[in-house]
Structure 1
Amino acid sequence: MASSTRIANEFLSVDVSSLGAEMQALRTSDGRSLLWNGDAAFWGGRSPILFPIVGKAPDDAVEIEGNSYPMNQHGFARRTEFALAASSDTMCRYELSASEATKAVYPFDFVLDVEHRIEGRTLTVAAEVRNRDRRPMPFGLGFHPAFVWPLPGAEGSDHVITLDNKAEPALIRLSGGLLSLERHPSPFEGGRLVLDHAMFDEDAMIFPEGAGEGLRYRAEGGPTLHFTFDNLPNLALWQKPGAPFICIEPWHGMAAENGGSKELAERPYSQTLEAGKMARFAFSVEVTG
């Protein structure tokens, strides 16, 4: 049975579930809800942690050292119970350790820690992956938070995403849930993208490189959410068509390529962690206005 932990300070409050170590709510002190509510009529997720793959695998299976293992889209962590390892008024850390169940689909001894921490007006969500195995461990890691669209107080206003680096990164799309290799012109102009629901008629917009280490999501009359990314080189934007949310997804890893290798280690931007090593991935969001 999943349990929940609440952390809070004078500016923000966050609820985190033990199921998937998934954030369930992000609210300002004046009661504005910024995170999608998980209405299953559109999409039941809120902020899942993607591990040990990001995206889909061909025939829902990955190959590891030549052997095939079943693997659903975005991996198993989001549907697995985590243990609460530490907590305070403004921090909670959940831990997932390898088990017989995980080794049946991902044959490695690992620990995945997910920490939510509030400092001032900023929430930081960090994931640490430790390889406790005796061999190199391939994986992908991603964050999939969904934020309300429209933002509170900004109904009827244009919602804009602006990249800190002012870049115009190339766009790729999915075909049957797998990465198409075709590059499309960037929808960003000078780093600025005015969101339009029609952009998501063809599924997610994926930017494999060049989106940089930060962006702002805002609209006139609403709060500004400034994101920064650590060790997360890939970015996706996604919405279930017509739903009142936008997913801002920083990743280190992507879906398998259409017609490409099934080997987990050969998926785009997969990381291979040496025995005994640890890797950290994090995003922060500062709420102002």
Structure 2
Amino acid sequence: MINITNEYLQVKISTKGAELQSIIRKDNQLEYLWSGDPAFWGKKSPVLFPIVGNLKNNTYSFKGEPYQLSRHGFARDMEFEVIEHTESAVTLNLSDSQTTRKNYPFPFSLNIRYSLQDASLTVSYEVQNTGDDTMYFSIGAHPAFKVPLEEGMTYEDYTLHFNETETADVWMLSTSGELSRTPTPYLEHTRELPLKKELFDNDALVFKNLASTAISIKSEKKPHGLTLHYAGFPYMGIWAAKHADFVCIEPWCGVADHEDASGKLEEKEGIVPLSPEEIFHRQWSVLLF
């Protein structure tokens, strides 16, 4: 387990999947991250790479060859190497191998950096194409935040607050994890989405191109919560396992296949093409209060 810390925060990260394991604010001693209870969902903050969501039939093709990838790709289950570690920051790396190339035929280097500044944690992604041909990938975050944050509170005491007024559709997921082509009206000129566990009875709420670049979890009953900033991510998933005490705010560069997807990787919605030696950067941050 890797520890990083500063005056405000204590954060733990596992080398398996480069996955966040704990975010504690020192002054209030609150744990902001979900516990990972396997009775509901055993993950806490998986990294989604080289795809986000499900492929149709868990299969894609590239240059006429079929490949298989399970939901959200393989990075979340692989061991990362620590390449830099200071008191308040750490960088972990995953590079292609004989194992990854069986189902993803691209040379790559993925660096994930966790760094602390005051009461904010920043998570940075750097993807480099180390091959000779164009690489195609998606990447996304899946942090699960504890709700309720404090004893004596309920799930329904909290609200998601968008930093812009939203009128937005959602794209619902089928039982096999594919997106409908037909959106459903959802948010209507509002900045608020009150939390209730029934929101996620039919899997995640998937938004495309929200006006907002930040979403907060907050309550009128207590002062503590968080704000996640995610400029540069065109898709947003909001999800929780059924009856579980958490909510995931998931900024994505990529999205699950639609029900009528062609299966060709280069035609996949949200796929990012990366030229040889090109480096892709994105970051999100969470302010704990």
Smaller-chain TM-score range? over 0.9
Q: Which amino acid aligns with 2:177?
A: G
Q: Which runs of 5+ in 1 are unaligned?
A: none
- Displacement of 1:211 in angstroms is 4.4
Whether 1:28 and 2:25 are equivalent positions in the alignment is yes
Q: Does 1:13 align with 2:14?
A: no
Look up the equivalent residue of 1:126 and give its one-letter code: S
Matches of 1:191 and 1:145, distance apart in 2: 21
Greater displacement, 197-206 / 227-236: 227-236
Contact 2:88–2:115 (CA under 8 A) maintained in structure 1: yes
Write out the 4+ residue segments of structure 1 that deviate beyond 3 Å after TM superposition: none
The worse-fitting range, judged by mean Cα deviation, of 89-98 and 224-233 is 224-233
Tell me the SS of whatever aligns to 2:170: coil
Would you say 1:160 and 2:177 are equivalent positions? no
Q: Which amino acid counterpart does residue 15 of structure 1 have in structure 2?
A: K
CA contact (8 A) 2:36 2:44 kept: yes
* TM norm structure 2: 0.95
Q: Does 1:75 align with 2:73?
A: yes
How many residues align? The count is 285
Q: Secondary structure at the match of 1:78?
A: helix
Could you tell me which of 116, 119, 132 is aligned with 1:118?
116
Alignment partner of 1:196 is 2:199: no
The one of 74, 85, 88 equivalent to 2:86 is: 88
Counterpart of 2:212? 212
Cα separation, 2, equivalents of 1:56 and 1:75? 9
Asked if the contact 2:166/2:187 (under 8 Å) is kept, the reply is no
Map of 2:183 onto structure 1: 183
- Matched with 2:282 is 281
- 1:245 alignment counterpart: 246
Structure 2: where are the runs of 5+ without partners? none
- Per the TM alignment, residue 212 of structure 1 is displaced from its structure 2 partner at its CA by 2.5
1:150: Cα distance to partner?
A: 0.9
Identity %: 32
Partner of 1:269: 270
Cα offsets for 1:10-67 (capped at 9, x unmatched): 1111100000100011111032111011111000110000000000012212212221
Query: Contact 1:213–1:233 at 8 Å: present in 2 too?
Result: no
Q: TM-score, normalised by structure 1?
A: 0.95
Asked if the contact 1:131/1:273 (under 8 Å) is kept, the reply is yes
Is residue 172–residue 207 contact of structure 1 (8 Å, CA) maintained in 2?
Answer: yes
Name the structure 1 match of 2:172. Answer: 173
Tell me whether 189-198 or 79-88 shows the greater mean CA deviation. Answer: 189-198
- The answer on whether the counterparts of 1:224 and 1:287 sit within 8 Å (CA) in structure 2 is yes
Any conservation in 1 of the 2:214–2:231 contact (CA below 8 Å)?
A: no
Q: 1: CA distance between counterparts of 2:151 and 2:280? A: 39
Q: Secondary structure at the match of 1:187?
A: strand
CA RMSD after TM alignment: 1.3
Shift of 1:267: 1.8
Distance 1:197 1:189, change over 3 A: farther
1:265 shift after superposition:
2.1
Q: Distance in 1 between matches of 2:187 and 2:148?
A: 20
Q: Per the alignment, do residues 133 and 109 of structure 1 end up closer, same or farther by CA in structure 2, a change over 3 Å counting?
A: same
Structure 1 residues 36-45 or 206-215, which shifts more?
206-215
Contact 2:30/2:149, CA 8 A, preserved across alignment: no
Q: Is the 8 A contact 1:211 1:234 kept in 2?
A: no
**Cα distance change of structure 1 residues 65 and 222 upon mapping to structure 2, 3 Å threshold:** farther
Deviation at 1:152, TM superposition (A): 2.1
